[in-house]
Amino acid sequence: MNTTTTYTPRARYVSVPSLETVAAWLLAIIWVFPLLYAFWAAFHPSEFMVNFELFAPLTLENFTNAWSQAPFARYYLNTFALVTGVVIGQFIVCTLAAFAFARFPIPGKNVLFMLVLIQLFVFPEVLIVENYRIASELGLINTITGIGLPYVASALGIFLLRQTFKTIPRELEDAARIEGCNWLEILWKVYVPLAKPTYLAYGLVSISHHWNNFIWPLVVTNSVESRPLTVGLGIFSAPETGVNWATVSAATLLSIAPLLIAFLLFQRQFVQSFLRAGIR
């Protein structure tokens, strides 16, 4: 996000904050409050859940409780495996398809491309019933592959990469061909390196999406061995399990921590990526 505003609003004297500033800050405080509250609840003994004393004793006990009451280490591992696998798979499959759409003469290419774009609207999770049947016929129930595979041929990825590939001058390709490169080498040495920003943007969006995805992983998994963090957290914190709330908030923070920290460190990249992937 570009932080430079080129015009200066009418000069205001700093002493009295304008109504707008007050409103902006009020809204910001309301917006972070739920998250701050989760931090408060997670780092204090449960009797301080609704009892705000500034010097309430801090504790890590809620985190150790959460960690010992549910296999979060395994959930982390599964989520990491899932996200890595999905992103690598998407990069490969979408790159190939986008390259074909951008540079190859294929009969009926526009119609095919429109067919691909349908997936921007018809998501795997909407077709949950049939996708479950197909996944079970393929023996993918309760596997990490089963969670990820329906998302690998991503219309968004194909779309974004195709658009980027199309902007790359043909001359570069011709030069590479004169050097004796074949198609795959041209793709790998010319197109892929020049599309790096697109890969970064799409990769970040995809990581956030799959780190957070819930309903399809819930349906397709049925044991600790394959459940990702979101599903693990959902089962752990379901009200009927009667888990202590301070522990639930610790568990919630545990599951969002990696993505939240990554976001706070690389805010600009995240926001840029969401923008890039959104404006299409």
Partner 1 sequence: MQLYGALLLLPAAILLATFAYLPTIATVINSLFLPGFRGAPTEFVGMENYQVLFDDPTFWKVARNNLIYAVGTIPTSIALALCMALFVNGKLRGRGFVRMAYFTPTILPMIAAANIWMFFYAPQIGLFNKLLGALGFSGVNWLGDPNVALGSVIVMSVWKEAGFFMIFYLAALQGIPPELKEASDLEGTSRWSFFWRVTFPLLMPTTLFVLINSLINSVRVVDHLFILTKGGPNNATNLLLYYVYENAFSFFDRTTAATITVVILLVLAVVATLKFTILDRRTHYQ
Q: Which is nearer to partner 1, 70 or 248 (CB)?
A: 248
CA distances from residue 175 to 20, 166, 171, 187 in whole angstroms, order as listed:
56, 17, 6, 13
Neighbour count for residue 203 (Cβ, 10 Å): 18
Q: Which is nearer to partner 1, 166 or 196 (CB)?
A: 166
Q: Which is nearer to partner 1, 196 or 268 (CB)?
A: 268
Q: Which is nearer to partner 1, 43 or 211 (CB)?
A: 211
Q: Which is nearer to partner 1, 23 or 175 (CB)?
A: 23
Q: Which is nearer to partner 1, 60 or 275 (CB)?
A: 275
CB 30 to partner 1: min, Å? 8
Cα–Cα distance for residue pair 142/217, rounded to 1 Å:
9
Give me the amino acid identity at 172: L
CB 246 to partner 1: min, Å? 10
C-beta of residue 157 within 8 angstroms of C-beta of residue 90: yes
CB 55 to partner 1: min, Å? 20
Neighbour count for residue 204 (Cβ, 10 Å): 22
CB 41 to partner 1: min, Å? 6
Q: Which is nearer to partner 1, 34 or 193 (CB)?
A: 34
CB 46 to partner 1: min, Å? 9
CB 277 to partner 1: min, Å? 11
Closest CA to 58 of 69, 48, 66, 67: 48
Cα–Cα distance for residue pair 19/46, rounded to 1 Å:
38
Alpha-carbon torsion (134, 139, 144, 148), positive or negative? negative
CB 192 to partner 1: min, Å? 13
Cα–Cα distance for residue pair 168/86, rounded to 1 Å:
26
